[in-house]
Structure 1
Amino acid sequence: MRIDGPAGGAWTVTATGDGWSLAAQPDAGHVDAVVGLDTETAWRLCTRGIQPGAALVRARIDGDRQLAEAVCQIVSIVY
């Protein structure tokens, strides 16, 4: 996942037996999909200010579309 903009960054998300693992450093090896979002879309998606489908329309996706759709199910708690 790549978030563009001043508050952005890049992370590697890996499927595990129990769910997903998120690493702060991008994986330099093989990736199955890259999802790029601007900061506004990412913030709204994570806090459910927009629906995953709306984020997918705005996303830049390279690779496996099903994985991209799974990434866009993200929810974050901000406090």
Structure 2
Amino acid sequence: MSTGGPADGTWTVTAAGGCWSLAEPHAGQPAAHLRMDADSAWRLCTRGVTPATALTRVHIDGHRQLTAGAYQIVSIVY
């Protein structure tokens, strides 16, 4: 997932053994890639937009179902 803008970042999310891990990108072709702008990511994480609205603001390559968890993210920002 990457957000673009000044807070841009790219992360690899991997599922293994019933758990998810978040890490720096690794070599190879991902099964899915999700790109979301920073404003949409911020609003999604703080529930300023619904997951359905966030879905209209993203670009997905690859296996769409694998990205579904990203729309359910909630963060507490202090």
The runs of 4+ residues in structure 1 deviating greater than 6 Å are none
Q: Which residue of 2 aligns with 1:21?
A: 21
Asked if 1:40 corresponds to 2:34, the answer is no
Letter in 2 for 1:71: A
Q: Which residue of 1 aligns with 2:12?
A: 12
Measured after TM superposition, the shift of residue 45 of structure 1 is 0.7
Q: Percent identity?
A: 58
SS of equivalent to 1:3:
coil
Measured after TM superposition, the shift of residue 66 of structure 1 is 0.6
Unaligned stretches of 5+ residues in structure 1: none
Measured after TM superposition, the shift of residue 39 of structure 1 is 0.4
SS of equivalent to 1:21:
strand
Q: Which residue of 1 aligns with 2:71?
A: 72
Structure 1 window deviating more from structure 2 (10-19 vs 37-46): it is: 10-19
Measured after TM superposition, the shift of residue 68 of structure 1 is 1.6
**What is the aligned length?**
78
TM-score in terms of structure 1 length: 0.87
Structure (1 or 2) with the greater strand fraction = 1
1:27 & 1:59 partners in 2: Cα distance? 22
Aligned-residue CA RMSD in angstroms?
1.2
Measured after TM superposition, the shift of residue 70 of structure 1 is 1.8
